[in-house]
Structure formats: structure tokens, C-alpha cells
Amino acid sequence: MADLEELYREIILDHYRSPRNRGELDSPPAHRVEGFNPLCGDEVVISILVEGDKLADLKIAGSGCSISQSSASLMSSAVKGKSLDEVHRLIHTFKGMMSIHEAQLGQDGEAVEPEEVNLDELGELAALQGVVKFPVRIKCATLSWNALAQGLDEVAGQAG
Amino acid sequence: MTPTAPLNVEALRKDFPLLTRTVHDHPIVYLDSASSALQPQAVITAMDRYYETTHANVHRGVYATAEESTHLYENARLAAGRFIGAPDPAHEVVFTKNTTESLNLVAHSWGRTNLGAGDAILLTEMEHHANIVPWLMLAEEVGLEVRYVPVDGDGRLDLGELDSLVSGVKLVGVSAMSNVLGTINPLAEIAAVAHEAGAVVVADGAQLVPHAPVDVTTLGADFIAFSAHKMMGPTGIGVLWGRSELLNAMPPFLGGGGMILDVKLDSFRAADPPARFEAGTPPIAEAVGLTAAIAYLGEIGMDRIRAHELALTSYALSRLDEKLGPDCRVFGPPAGEDRGGVLSIAYRDVHAHDLAQVLDQFGVCVRPGHHCAKPLMRKLGVQATARASLSLFSDEHDIEVLIEGLVEAGRLFG
């Protein structure tokens, strides 16, 4: 069961059992974005509040497996209060870690070359790297990140 | 061998090469036949032999192998028809890609001809997406009213309001056996009411035909669809059986070679069924594989297969209850005449994907997710279940390994 323990690290189980930043923000002023995994029915609802060039607040709702929910929770802890530049860089790095496998599968057009990924930047999020050994679960791990990226794009579009 | 003699599962397992492999250092425990069944060596060999000795296109050449190919392909049609008791298999059995394509064929060809704005159709809440979405597509296009027979708390169709639901509908679409609940629906009873109301009945037979005796002369349905790969045949070939008078009155589905009598620059004349609905080179090797699968199942006997799977369903339900208690919920009716070997499991609040991931480490293959039945999952109040489905080669040991894996998942996520 070594692979399983690598997938389900204690920190992942902790975030799954006690998810951080749960709930929804009033929208408006917050922006609400949904992500779905049509294969398994997992869903995530992210409320983001952008103030200036900062992701001032975010909350996560929805339901799904331990990987999708812990990834969303870990993400919320990592990006809350950060500048938008930092958030975008973190999204890029996280998706890079996940796309090491996706690139091999040829599933993700914007795959990042593995050498570009600096896992040190990811802190606790690096706990999710065990997921790449389970290709089917990568979409669970990236669900909330794709939704966040989409939400930030939509907010930027509105502002522009 | 009497029709009721128990299966010698240990001997039968030797027929399936894939059962000899290991997964994560465990012997494979294949509990996903409702998704796709495994193939006995006889099916694999039949297809290999066909490619090695016979392959040619059908209905075209006059050389020996072309004649033989055509014979094998048409022979598969007869075998598929006889398997479900079709009175006139040569004319009533259409080969498609799978159940989904068979149902789309009915919606496209029968539906577009016979349904128009304001017409009503009746489906059930336990349908697979394959028997919902083609009808919703048609409904969007021509403006249909789509009604649903509700599912009750035991996972059976609630037929209490059937008379009023069926009133005025032109089509009733119903699953012969639910791919989530294992419920075997009283098709003949529903069809009698539907026919009384003047409706045509299309049955999704994907789950029932591979696991129980089916006779279309008593089933009640006017169309029934099923797939070879769920009955130990290959992927890529499905069956649509329909009553001749309905098929004869239907326009073609896909256009192309093989489905015409004549083509001019500005018009065409369609061939008679079943060729009318089989445009292009059909799945010939797959038809040969289907014939072999039908022979394999027929030799064992569908009555015996059904009895084995029902007994094992009963065993599984009581063992899951005994070992895991109320923490483990299995949806659907109790083991009985109207219950097939499909076990949709929710265990504690562990997500189905996580259950399936842990089970995989034990070599256990189950299907996590919504099983292409999202309306039903909403009704059951779950996002996903882990579905273990039985086959003629499933045994009590498989169930014990399943339980061992569930216990481990409970420990891990406890």
C-alpha cells in the first residue's frame, strides 16, 4: 500500500476532513465560478474577491473526492491574501507539477516542462505530487485550480 | 447438465485469460462487468481465426473469403436474434456500434418520423443517459414533453401513477435492468399499459440481456437495444432488435454504402431493413466475436447464469451487512426475482473515487462515479457510488476481497 500512502498523505486527509475557507462570499462584490468534473460528478464553487492587485478573499464550496476537496482547501490556504501575480505563478507551478504526467498523456495543451517546476515554491501543496502516479486523479487535483484560473480571467475581463 | 445445475465457477474462470493477471501484486478481482465484461478465450480465438483465415468485406465480393465473411456476418445476426427469441432474426436484428447507437437510431429514425411538436414521451428516472439524452436532443429539436416514471425508496419504479403518466404518450423508454440499482423492471406489465395507450416501447437491454434469459415475444418491448461487450463479446458492436412493421416504416439513420437499393445524382432508394440501418462497412470481426460469445453463454445456459448471479448477489448483500453494518449502503431492491447482480455501494462518507482507489490496491476493479445516470443519483441523494457488478465467473472470494478493501478504505479515511 506504499503508493496509496503516497497519494493519501496525512496533510491531504487533514484538509479533506477539515477543509479550510469553506463557504461562499456574497456575490457581488465577490465573483463566483463553478468547476465540474463530468467524469465523476465532482464539483467545486469558488468565490473570489479581488481588491486591486490582490486576491483579498476566497471561499470554497462544492463536494467531491478527497483529492479534489483537499486540493481546493490547500489551494485556498496558499492563495488567500496573495498578489494576483503570485497567485498566477502558483497556479502555473501547481499545474506544472500535475502536467508532468498530463504532458506524457498528451491531454493538456498548456503542459509545462518538468524542469520548469520548482516544487519548493509549493510548500504544503507539494503533498499532492503523489497524485501524478494516478493519472485518472489528476483531473480531481486540478479541478479547483482550473476554476480559480477561469474566475481570475473573468474578473480581469470585467475590469478591462 | 440440467438448466438449474449450479455453475462450476472454478472451471469457468479458466476460460478467461485476463483473470490470470495480477494487479498491484494481487490476483485481479474483476467486478466491473456492468461496465464491460471480460472475454472468454473462445471469443478471442474466433476473432483471431477470422482475421487469420477469412477476412474480407461483406455483401460485396464474389470470391470465396468474401462469401464466407458475409455468411459469418449474417450468421451473427441470426445468433443474436435467436438469443433473444426474435421471431424473424434475419430481418429484425440491426447491428450498430453499441446500445447507445441503437437507442440513438430509434430516436433519430423512428422519433423524427413519429414525434412532433407537443407530443409526449415517457421515460423513467432510472434510465442511463443513453436512453435520456437522445430523447432530450429530439425534444429540443421538435418540442416534446418528456415525462418520467419516478423511482421509489426501494429503487423500484413507482408505477402507481403509470396510467395517468402514460396517457397520451407516443413512446415509453424504459431500462430492462438498472445499471445502478440492479432493479429488473416489470417490462411486460409496463408495456401492456403503454400499448393500451397506443405507445411504442423501447427497452434498454444493455444490463439484462447479458445476465438473464430474454424472449422478445413475451418481453413486451417493440425495440430492445444491447451491446456485445457487456455479454463477453468484443467492443464495437451492438444490437437493435425491432418489430418488423416498425423497422419497415422507418427512414434510414446514417447514409452511405450498403444501405441503398439505388442512387442517382439527385435521389436514392433505401434498402430494406436491416441493411437500411447499416451504412458503411460493418463490424465484421466483432460480429464473429459476438457469435462466439452467444455460443459460450448459450452453452452454459442463461437460466444457470441468472441463478448463480442472484445467489451471489444475496450472499454479497448479507456479507456486506454482516461485516460493515449500516455504514455500508447498497442501493436497490433486496435480492430477489427483480434484482440483478449490480451493487452500488456508499460506505461511510468515503467518496466513491477514494473507495475505488483503495480497492484497486487490492486488485479489485469497481466503477466509481455517477454511472451515466445523473438524474437517478440526484434522486438517491448521492454524488457517486462505487459499483461492484457480478458475472458468471464471480465468486464468494471476490466478495470477501471487496469487503477487505472497503474495510481498509474505512480505516484510511476513518
List CB contacts (< 8 A) between A43 and chain B: 383
Tell me the nearest-neighbour CA distance from B377 into chain A, angstroms: 10
pLDDT in tens, B363-412: 999 999 889 999 999 899 888 999 999 999 999 999 999 999 999 999 98
Mean pLDDT of B314-335: 96
Percentage of chain B with pLDDT > 90?
A: 94
Whole-number pLDDT of residue A132: 84
pLDDT of residue A105: 44
Q: Do B377 and A41 touch (CB under 8 A)?
A: yes
Probe site for chain B from A66, A68, A138 (most B CB atoms < 10 A): A66
> What digits encode the pLDDT tens for the residues B254-313?
999 999 999 999 999 999 999 999 999 999 999 999 999 999 999 999 999 999 999 999
Segment of A118-127, B61-70, B105-114 carrying the highest mean pLDDT: B105-114
Rounded-to-integer distance, Cα B400 and Cα B31, Å: 12
pLDDT over 80 at A120, yes or no:
no
Across all residues in chain A, what is the average pLDDT?
A: 84
pLDDT at position B41 is 98
- Examine the pLDDT at A117 and tell me if it is beyond 90: no
CB nearest to A41's CB, from B361, B383, B412: B383
> Which residue in chain A has the smallest CA separation from B375?
A41
How many structural domains compose chain A? 1
Answer yes or no: do A137 and B369 touch at CB < 8 A. Answer: no
A41 and B358 in contact by Cβ < 8 A?
A: no
Q: How far is CA B279 from CA B100, B255, B257, in A?
A: 17, 6, 5
Residue A15: domain span: 2-159
- Whether A115 has a pLDDT exceeding 70, the answer reads no
Which residues of B carry out catalysis?
Answer: 372
Whole-model pTM: value is 0.92
pLDDT band at A1 (very low <50, low <70, confident <90, very high): low
Q: Is B35 on the interface with A (CB under 8 A)?
A: no
Chain A contacts of B24, Cβ < 8 Å? Answer: 3
Mean pLDDT value across residues A99-122: 57
Q: Which residue has the higher pLDDT, A65 or B343?
A: B343
Say if residue B339's pLDDT is above 90.
Answer: yes
Q: Which of A3, A4, A39 sits opposite B369 (nearest CB)?
A: A39
| B321-333: average pLDDT | 96
- Three-state secondary structure along chain B? CCCCCCCCHHHHHCCCHHHHCEECCEECEECECCCCCCCCHHHHHHHHHHHHHCCCCCCCCCCHHHHHHHHHHHHHHHHHHHHCCCCCHHHHEEEECCHHHHHHHHHHHHHHHHCCCCCEEEEECCCCHHHCHHHHHHHHHHCCEEEEECECCCCCECHHHHHHHHCCEEEEEEECECCCCCEECCHHHHHHHHHHCCCEEEEECCCCCCCCCCCHHHHCCCEEEEEHHHHCCCCCCEEEEECHHHHHCCCCCCCCCCCEEEECCCCEEECCCCHHHCCCCCCHHHHHHHHHHHHHHHHHCHHHHHHHHHHHHHHHHHHHHHHHHHHEEEECCCCCCCECCEEEEEECCECHHHHHHHHHHCCEECEEECCCCHHHHHHHCCCCEEEEECCCCCCHHHHHHHHHHHHHHHHHHC
**By percentage, how much of chain B surpasses pLDDT 70?**
99
Domains of chain B: residue spans and CATH = 9-39+301-413 (3.90.1150.10), 45-298 (3.40.640.10)
CB pairs under 8 A between A and B: 51
Q: Which among A40, A66, A134 has CB closest to B369?
A: A40
- Check residue A108 and give its pLDDT: 46
Write the single-letter amino acid at B286. Answer: E
A15 touches chain B (CB under 8 A): no
**From A3, A43, A65, residue closest to B354, measured CB to CB:** A65
Task: Give the minimum alpha-carbon distance from B88 to chain A in angstroms, rounded to a whole number.
Answer: 40
Q: Does A41 touch chain B (CB under 8 A)?
A: yes
Quote the CA–CA distance of A153 and A160 in Å, as a whole number: 10
Which residue on chain A is closest to B372 by alpha carbon?
Answer: A39
Give pLDDT, residue A131.
87
* Per-residue model confidence as pLDDT tens digits over A46-76: 999 999 999 999 999 998 899 999 999 999 9
Contact B370 A8 (CB under 8 A): no
Residue environment code for B373-401, b if the CB has 16+ CB neighbours within 10 A, otherwise e: bebbbebbebbbbbbbbbbbbbbeebbeb
User: Which residues on neighbouring strands pair with residue B151, listed in sequence order?
Assistant: B157
**What does the pLDDT read at residue A107?**
45
Taking CA atoms, what residue in B is nearest to A133? B357
pLDDT at res. A109? 47
Average pLDDT over residues B125-142: 97
Write the CATH number for A23. 3.90.1010.10
Q: Which residue of B has its CA nearest to A131?
A: B357
Average pLDDT along chain B: 96
Question: What's the mean pLDDT in B50-61?
Answer: 94
Task: Indicate whether A8 pLDDT > 90.
Answer: no
**Any idea which of A89-98, B80-89, B403-412 has the lowest mean pLDDT?**
A89-98
Q: Which grid coordinates belong to B140? A: 429540443
Residues within 8 A of A (CB atoms), B 222-281 only: none
Tens-digit pLDDT profile for residues B174-223: 999 999 999 999 999 999 999 999 999 999 999 999 999 999 999 999 99
pLDDT tens column, A13-46: 888 889 999 999 988 898 999 998 877 678 899 9
Mean pLDDT of B338-342: 98
Distance from CA of A7 to the nearest CA of B (A): 10
Subunit contact B353:A40, Cβ cutoff 8 A = yes
